[in-house]
Structure 1
């Protein structure tokens, strides 16, 4: 009962002191809305994949993509593994057809072994739960996909078509949680007997098609299993192109945040960025609490008569503390409600921007109400504790006699420290934002080592590949096409993979791990890549010969590429099981064959003119955007002529593709900038409230100065100058802090900007301008008031 009485008294106080209450509530609401968004983001990232049952027993095998038979070899030779599965991810958004209805698989699909369901926890809500993929003509749909195709009809047993192949729906899964890095719209079963190259998928060791996952029994000795797997694969496998030493168990819990150690299509988190966002959230909440400290103690000085009267009438310190805490809890609760309303408005935009469909906060679950009430009580008590205990301790006689309580030296100093902390956080975040923006722009404009201007990439799908020569003839006839080259992947975006290569140099074998890609003889002239030693292979005499980059020659400690012989992926395995070798015809200059986030590693370019599909790279000559639009339309018409309707996603301007690589960096920069702006805004709420209180306290001084001839600008400058010391102290503290964290952050990038002094000077200048503007707006109003009124009020 007493609690509700205190809440009622708190509400009356909020209404009575509505101006300060509004500042407090708005500041809290803005802060809490940002904190909730950050909380959603951080929770999703840190909980990714944690919903799987026995998550600590799930491991990824092999740090790279692996050939299909590797898993079967391990399964046969290492019975200690509980179960094992191959997974092939297809990101392409294929279309499923049912009668006259076509639905795009937005999240792509997976091809898996049946053991997939014994490892990962994706609940089956309809169909055959014991054997969801009984044969190679089965398909498992996620719930939203099934509803999009069949509506409310039962999907089990229905036939859908992908391409020219029909599949029977045998099971339906619950929609994939947003905190799963394994996202898909449908599951198919891998057919090991399917033809691939000159063999079948189940027997083909030369291509890394799969990711392998396994579940271990509890208490397994991982080191012993690693050794046994490598022994088994070394005796029974054929990993000349991959390296037995890389057949290692990686905990699945660490895959998502792994940045460099292993390759996986199910990674993508950045632990450092998550921790940075968490830190920003804590700073924003702390600044909001500091605002409450400062505003409550400052405005509380004006409530001294109320406190004094309550004490004279018998109110105990305990009851006053309870009232102030109830008031702060009520303010926090109102702010939390406003924050939820704001977040529900912006969550769809936030989710679309970061690429995760976060659900709205609809308060339909008990835990949501628990968080709302519990969070309000926790934040309210934390924010209101210091003002409550301080204000409840005032002397009632002084409070009633003087009319207000003068702040003691300790209180004033504490308030100054809090102001400096707020400004320090604001300046540091502004400096970090400037550095992050500079790094993002640097990556977008950095020289990749090849000429990427006016290059168009055309992905040749199956229908084009079947008529490849006719297709290329029509492309060659276009007037604006200067030359073209076929590569296995988009240059500057990704290579084919990594393999273990044995280099024979003057009879000495030198093994290294090397990235590789396929390209034709026109590649070097089309992309403007200079040969610094040797030459491009002469085909067909030197079929399968390779070109190294400078980094590869450095890794081999060799000077003469013509004396090198290396194993090649082009030719078939020799009858005795050995890997055939070819020559190295030359060395090209280093260039970024993949993202600038990775840097330049040893690379071999396998030169062939008969690569079956891949990417057609066109060097074009256009002088205006109209020419480019016309050329793109011509390409689409040719593409459609050869039976390929989906040309929009297969015809791309290379420069645009390479800029899209850094979309994650751009998003991070935008989010960091927005949260930094909100931090500054929240700090301004507190500063504005303190300036209002301070100027009210100095009304008589301002009035006297005006009577003695001071004009408004002089008084405004005087009032602003009293706060400039805070900015200076904050700048001195913030600069080394921001430098330390940004220096560590930049170390993750192989190509990075320098931490120039002007980033920090500009951050201090921006903070100074914001503070001056915040102070000046209200100070101008105060200085412009009638001095007679100010003198009479005293």
Structure 2
């Protein structure tokens, strides 16, 4: 019997080729999209599952009086908390100091380097692939590698006990290798070394005090600890010891499980949107599958009636349709898996990989996703098979034999509600995509306060093997560039727009008794000229006048306003508690957007540093005459090829750097665009099936109207008008939702567009245009059919 069910099912699917193909396309595309979205959510939420009892891990966050915050605290705070907070079991620092070069068999490797306390594994119970967690960081010159770095250096062997040379001088013993860590994890580790290595580092010693906040600090607490008491204790310790206590509003204890969304708030939007989009797409494909399945069963009422006359019961008929739809769903799942692995997953990595890291799919490790998709397939099969079957098997045999299904009462309210819901989602996605696109376009093309076109930038922080030789060749390159007629200006600096360090210093004005937290950077005499940033007061740096050891500075307008000054005449920048000799302020530049437009322009100070100090600059910036960018790039690249260094020289256009700040938001836009296309596409597949259903039900009516003189246009209008009205209702529902969501989202930007009425009008026009085209295809086919054949239909 089961064999016969399969034969009949395949025969029916082939007989209804068009609707079967529509179902197959809609299901395959929809399920592959749901699979992609759910897998990204699954990968995110399971990324830190390797850390046991993570609910009892916290980190400390500093909140300033100006509203800014950061997850760094003074290094000495940890020991004071351990000694004064009974709820704290263990604590550790985990901070970057420098990305150390590691040498193995004369090959150099550089990866992210973090320094942690020996108690690191008491706080984070991260499993090791090789080594012993108890002793891994106890020795001063030990090093723990991630699995990725271990394979990069040693291949697939166990490297514990082997030696690496760090920074050309340190003999480091490999004492552990982490199990593979998800790129979505809160930890972006490369190698971890004990903090005891830094205890003799003069630079670290100078920073290891209450005046500098550079170290993220983590604690493991006892279950059910009082977080409020811990927060009050940390705040009290900071107020007693920090010399900048007046600039600190409070100290906050943050759960480790919230660390990723706290560091990159937009992640929460991505995850929430992915869950919502997967739910909506799943709902749309199920409704369309149900509608299209009902449409195919419409022409099979005679078959059902005949089988009932021959003795088939309701159970047999339902099993038949379950198997038929099960075959369709199973094939769709296979096709969706192929689309996911070959198209969707690579695109997902291309979109979010640069920010979060690349992920891979392992059928054995990620089996919950496989089981989830199979479960969705089973539920979909049962839903779309049983519901229509119960409806059609109840048709009286006398009506079924005559094919008079139009006498069967239909639940139009439920069907129309589903259509409205589908197109509400589709139009909502289209509206969001339009507003997102306008915001990204605004940010990319806005006046940033500097001229970004025709500017080349290159990273010159390359870890030169012989600095004196590198300096000599670099000076020769600068001279060559300055004498080139196609080069307008050359500059070296610590930062460029889009890549400023989060270097903040608190400066003090004793006249007004004001503390101002200012971001700082270093630049040479040509920096503002090269970027064409206007000087609004004073002058730019001048190598003939300024001396680097006097630290002359140029501030921006925001810093001027923050101090409450009208002019810089007679003003200096002073450290609170300093020796009284301030840094001379030689100029004020117009505010420019050195970070993306999600953030307001903050107070900024540039400190003078001579351009030929190669070791202390990160970027070479060159303004060239339009049309000669490539030739100048070749000159610079050739020069750096002849300078021995551990890193490779990489250069790009400043326009690309600025646009690159919005890659993550553009990734969201791509996801929204795809969701919108899928929603409208799958919804239109459902409409195609429904209008086919309607045309079959009204075939005699159409024939009679044509005989009485109705034209094609009138019949198309007759068949389509109800659906167009439903799409219009969906648009009216979607618009206020889209406005509320996007207005709330845009509030998070310091600079944003205003939402205009035409954006919603464009979304409605796109939806109506696509809908009308879809409806028109099927309606015209019915309208031009021969009325004689229609009137003959029984």
- 1:20 aligned partner: 19
| Cα pair distance change 1:706/1:400, threshold 3 Å | closer
- Comparing 702-711 and 640-649, the one that deviates more: 702-711
| Deviation of 1:380 (Å) | 3.1
**Is this contact kept in 2: 1:298–1:693, CA < 8 A?**
yes
Q: Give SS of 2:55's match.
A: helix
**What residue is the counterpart of 2:618 in the other structure?**
615
SS at match of 1:359: coil
Task: Please name the residue that 2:130 is paired with.
Answer: 126
* Alpha-carbon distance between aligned partners in 2 of 1:770 and 1:407, rounded to the nearest angstrom: 31
- CA distance 1:332–1:406, shift in 2 (3 Å): farther
Q: Distance in 1 between matches of 2:479 and 2:23?
A: 68
User: Counterpart in 1 of 2:90?
Assistant: 83
Quickly say closer, same or farther: Cα 1:428–1:69, change in 2 above 3 A.
closer
CA shift for structure 1 position 38? 0.7
Does 2:300 correspond to 1:303? yes
Matched with 1:182 is 187
Does structure 2 retain, via aligned residues, the 8 Å contact 1:437–1:669? yes
Aligned equivalent of 2:80, options 74, 83, 90: 74
1:737 matched to 2:740? The reply is: no
CA deviations 1:504-524 (Å, max 9, x no partner) are 23xx31234333333344433
1:114 aligns with 2:101: no
Whole-angstrom distance in 1 between the partners of 2:256 and 2:487: 47
Q: Which residue of 1 aligns with 2:478?
A: 475
Equivalent position of 1:484 in the other structure = 490
User: Quick check: 2:426–2:679 contact (8 Å CA) kept in 1?
Assistant: yes
Residue 454 of structure 1 corresponds to: 454
Displacement of 1:180 in angstroms is: 0.7
TM-score (norm 1): 0.86
**8 A contact 1:428–1:737 mirrored in 2:** yes
Equivalence for 2:42: 43
Match of 1:400 in 2: 401
Q: Residue by residue, what CA displacement relative to the aligned partner does 1:63-96 show, whole Å, maximum 9, x if unpaired?
A: 436477335553565454322222234897x875
Q: CA deviation at 1:459?
A: 2.9
Map 1:161-180 onto structure 2 (within 5 A): 161-162=165-166, 164-165=168-169, 166-180=171-185
Deviations 1:389-436 (A, max 9, x none): 43344344433344434352x513332232232222222211211211
Seen in structure 2, the aligned counterparts of structure 1 residues 496 and 744 have a Cα distance that, compared at 3 Å, is closer
Q: Which moved more, 1:73-82 or 1:5-14?
A: 5-14
Classify 1:16/1:527 alpha carbon distance in 2 versus 1 (closer, same or farther; 3 Å): closer
Aligned partner of 1:192 among 198, 204, 218:
198
What is residue 31 of structure 1 aligned with on the other side? Answer: 30
1:59 is displaced (CA, Å) by: 1.9
CA distance in structure 2 between the partners assigned to 1:542 and 1:160 by the alignment: 38
Q: Which residue is 2:438 aligned to?
A: 438
Matches of 2:621 and 2:10 in 1, distance apart?
70
Number of equivalences: 769
State the secondary structure of the residue aligned to 2:299.
helix
1:502 corresponds in structure 2 to 508
- For 1:82, what is the secondary structure of its paired residue? strand
Change in Cα spacing, 1:361 to 1:297, as seen in structure 2 (3 Å) is farther
Q: Which moved more, 1:715-724 or 1:693-702?
A: 715-724
Contact kept, 8 Å, 2:533 with 2:589, in 1: the verdict is: yes
Cα distance 1:436–1:586, how it changes in 2: closer, same or farther (>3 A)? same
Tell me how far apart the structure 2 counterparts of residues 62 and 74 of structure 1 sit (CA, whole Å): 16
Residue 281 (structure 1) aligned with residue 278 (structure 2) = yes
Q: Match of 2:637? A: 636
Equivalent pair of 1:493/1:658 in contact (CA under 8 Å): no
Taking a change above 3 Å as real, the CA distance of residues 232 and 721 of structure 1, as seen in their structure-2 partners, is closer
Deviation at 1:130, TM superposition (A): 1.9
5 Å matches for 1:87-486? 87-89=94-96, 96-99=102-105, 105=111, 108-162=112-166, 164-165=168-169, 166-190=171-195, 191-197=197-203, 200=205, 203=208, 208-236=213-241, 243=247, 245=249, 247-258=251-262, 267=264, 269-309=266-306, 328=325, 331-353=328-350, 354-355=352-353, 356-360=357-361, 362=363, 367=368, 370-384=371-385, 386-408=387-409, 411-461=411-461, 462-463=463-464, 468=471, 471-472=474-475, 474-478=477-481, 479=484, 480-486=486-492
| Contact 1:475/1:635, CA 8 A, preserved across alignment | no
Q: What's the TM-score once normalised by structure 2's chain length?
A: 0.86
Separation in 2, partners of 1:482, 1:496: 30
1:220-263, CA deviations, whole angstroms, 9 ceiling, x for partnerless residues?
A: 332322332343344445557x95555442222222112xxxxx
Contact kept? 1:70, 1:233, Cα under 8 Å = no
Indicate conservation of the 8 Å contact 1:48/1:256, yes or no: no
Alignment deviations for residues 78-125 of structure 1 (CA, whole Å, 9 cap, x no partner)? 454322222234897x875432666664xx343333222222233112
CA gap of 1:380–1:731, structure 2 versus 1, over 3 A, is same
Distance 1:452 1:45 in 2: 36
Task: For 1:414 and 1:290, locate their aligned partners in 2 and report how far apart those are by CA, in whole Å.
Answer: 11
What residue in structure 2 maps to residue 513 of structure 1? 517
**CA offset at residue 285 of structure 1?**
0.9
CA contact (8 A) 1:305 1:403 kept: no
Asked if the contact 2:555–2:605 (Cα under 8 Å) also holds between the matched residues in 1, the reply is yes
Matched, 1:550 2:582: no
Seen in structure 2, the aligned counterparts of structure 1 residues 668 and 325 have a Cα distance that, compared at 3 Å, is: same
Structure 2 counterpart SS, 1:305: helix
Paired residue secondary structure (1:637):
helix
Give, in whole Å, the separation in 1 of the partners of 2:49 and 2:247. 31
CA contact (8 A) 1:596 1:750 kept: yes
- Tell me if structure 2 keeps the 8 A contact 1:68–1:201: no
Please give the per-residue CA displacement for 1:349-376, whole angstroms capped at 9, x wherever unaligned: 1343121433336368764564344322
Deviation digits for residues 269-297 of structure 1 (CA, Å, limit 9, x no counterpart): 52123212221211111111211232233
Cα gap change, 1:297/1:442 in structure 2, threshold over 3 Å: closer, same or farther?
A: same
Partners of 1:50 and 1:339 lie apart in 2 by 28
Further displaced range: 47-56 or 285-294:
47-56
How far apart in 1 are the matches of 2:649 and 2:473? 21
Rounded Cα–Cα distance in structure 2 between residues aligned with 1:549 and 1:214:
39
Would the alpha carbon gap of residues 542 and 368 (structure 1) be closer, same or farther in structure 2, given more than 3 Å must change? closer
Cα deviation digits, residues 513-557 of structure 1 (max 9, x gap): 333333344433333223334455763499335443333333344
| Distance change (3 Å), C-alpha of 1:455 and 1:763 | same
